[in-house]
């Protein structure tokens, strides 16, 4: 894990001053809750909070990080929309149905948080996590919360360091000249000679009940937690979406069981390599098709020493015939599975001495749910039913039979590249 620099400040103090916060006494226990505000009436991007980003609902990224951090006594989503409620619950969150009074366009985050705290009196410390910050990781909230529980701060919020020169705004038609706000033009510093400035990145805000009652999210002994720029992603308008998606694929958190290297991949042929259509010849013969992009995806994995096993059902003879032909072309093993594929695959993992976290799984229906949930990396085509989508860690843009396997293969190999880069960074950090 790359090293992260954290700085602490107090109201009226200079940046970098470390406060001697009072530590909690042994046995002290405060209820710490995570709260994600997700109103259904987003104007910039309709239902933005549950729109799919890099194969996961936007809100799912931060809920996954919050739940996996194991630092919260409860994780909540505050919403006024039925669909957002369903998604929130599928990602392990409780739901606070906000009142109409705090669901208006003019409603503030503070008003919504105050309502939540009033209706949940057991909560002592609250972390408002922004749904639009999909590169949040468990270690971010863990380290920030420890600044409250172990160092005695009252509020902690996330920031990012930026090297941007600011100038005073001049209104159109004014005769005034602009002035520099944070630099001397005659002594314009090089980037490497300037520490830059700290900006709120909006990822999270920890605060106490007392401060919320006073109408504050930041107050008392205040500290900031600095996040590296690669984790500071915010989404406000449509144009942000493709940029955020590429950032999340590289720097997002995909779950605690994400494997460093996938050694084995299972793929359900029906619905993943096929599109559900059956072609009937004049002779009465039934045929199905396969996309060459998907066979390319298989070869991509095999070149990286990932074994690919194709799963079929004994009840689907047409797909079985297709899988057998595909196996001859690609060298894949074909395996028949029953109504619960998990039972048939366990012996294979035991034989290869692999854990489910070392495995990738691609399925498309309810029988695949157990394997999708257990696998270190899992995916479904874009047209899979909701029950399968909710169990998978990645939902492809492509539908079944139209390149979904190729897309998942690229995702698997990207995670492998990320793991290598992180290991390299860890070695660099260890030398300092």
E strand or H helix at 75: strand 74-79
- Beta-bridge partner residues of 94: 76
| d(C-alpha 271, C-alpha 319), whole Å | 10
| Strand ranges (E), 181-315 | 197-208, 222-227, 264-268, 279-280, 286-287, 307-312
Do residues 155 and 86 touch, judged by C-beta distance below 8 A?
no
What 3-state DSSP class applies to 380? strand
The single-letter DSSP state of residue 187 is G
| d(C-alpha 112, C-alpha 101), whole Å | 9
| d(C-alpha 214, C-alpha 36), whole Å | 21
Pick from 70, 71, 66, 62: nearest CA to 30: 71
| d(C-alpha 248, C-alpha 244), whole Å | 6
Do residues 370 and 322 touch, judged by C-beta distance below 8 A?
no
- Report the chain's terminal Cα–Cα distance, integer Å: 14
User: Catalytic: which of 97, 118, 162, 188?
Assistant: 188
- Specify whether 188 is catalytic: yes
Do residues 51 and 132 touch, judged by C-beta distance below 8 A?
no
Burial per residue of 221-239, b for 16 or more beta-carbon CB atoms within 10 angstroms, e otherwise = bbbbbbbeeebbbebeeee
What's the gap between Cα 104 and its chain centre? 27
| d(C-alpha 282, C-alpha 265), whole Å | 37
197 exposed, middle or buried (CB, 10 Å; 0-12, 13-18, 19+)? middle
Do residues 78 and 35 touch, judged by C-beta distance below 8 A?
yes
DSSP 21-58: PPPPPTT----EEEEEE--S--SSSTTGGGSEETTEEH
With vertex at residue 302, the alpha carbon angle to CA 300 and CA 308, rounded to the nearest 5 degrees, is 110
| d(C-alpha 160, C-alpha 372), whole Å | 35
Outline where 160-231 has alpha helix (H): 209-213
Residues forming the active site? 188
């Amino acid at each position: 894990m790359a090293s992260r620099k954290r700085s602490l400040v107090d109201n009226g103090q200079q940046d970098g001053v470390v406060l001697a916060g009072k530590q909690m006494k042994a046995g002290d226990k405060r209820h710490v809750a995570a709260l994600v505000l997700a109103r259904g009436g987003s104007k910039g991007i309709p239902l933005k909070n549950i729109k799919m980003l890099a194969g996961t609902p936007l809100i799912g990224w931060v809920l996954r990080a919050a739940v996996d951090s194991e630092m919260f006594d409860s994780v909540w989503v505050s919403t006024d929309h039925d669909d957002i409620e369903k998604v929130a619950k599928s990602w392990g969150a409780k739901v606070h149905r906000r009142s109409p009074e705090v669901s208006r366009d003019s409603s503030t985050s503070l008003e919504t948080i105050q309502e939540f705290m009033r209706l949940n009196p057991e909560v002592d410390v609250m972390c408002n996590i922004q749904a639009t910050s999909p590169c949040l990781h468990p270690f971010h909230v863990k380290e920030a919360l420890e600044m409250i529980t172990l160092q005695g701060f009252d509020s902690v919020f996330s920031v990012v360091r930026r090297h941007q020169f600011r100038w005073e705004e001049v209104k159109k038609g004014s005769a005034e000249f602009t002035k520099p706000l944070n630099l001397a033009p005659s002594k314009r510093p090089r980037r490497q000679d300037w520490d830059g400035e700290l900006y709120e990145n909006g990822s999270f805000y920890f605060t106490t009940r007392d401060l919320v009652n006073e109408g504050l999210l930041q107050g008392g002994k205040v500290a900031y937690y600095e996040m590296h720029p690669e984790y500071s992603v915010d989404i406000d308008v449509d144009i942000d979406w493709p940029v955020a998606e590429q950032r999340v694929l590289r720097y997002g958190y995909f779950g605690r069981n994400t494997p460093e290297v996938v050694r084995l991949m299972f793929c359900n042929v029906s619905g993943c390599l096929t599109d559900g259509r059956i072609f009937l010849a004049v002779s009465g013969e039934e045929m199905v098709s396969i996309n060459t992009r998907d066979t390319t995806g298989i070869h991509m994995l095999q070149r990286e020493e990932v074994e690919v096993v194709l799963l079929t059902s004994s009840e689907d003879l047409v797909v079985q015939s297709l899988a057998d032909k595909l196996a001859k072309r690609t060298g894949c093993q074909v395996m028949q599975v029953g109504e619960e594929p998990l039972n048939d695959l366990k012996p294979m993992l035991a034989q290869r001495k692999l854990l489910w976290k070392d495995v990738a799984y691609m399925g498309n229906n309810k029988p695949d749910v157990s394997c999708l949930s257990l696998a270190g990396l899992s995916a479904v085509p874009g047209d899979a039913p909701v029950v399968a989508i909710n169990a998978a860690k990645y939902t492809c843009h492509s539908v079944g039979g139209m390149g979904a396997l190729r897309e998942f293969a690229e995702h698997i190999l990207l995670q492998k590249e990320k793991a290598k880069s992180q290991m390299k960074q860890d070695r660099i950090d260890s030398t300092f």
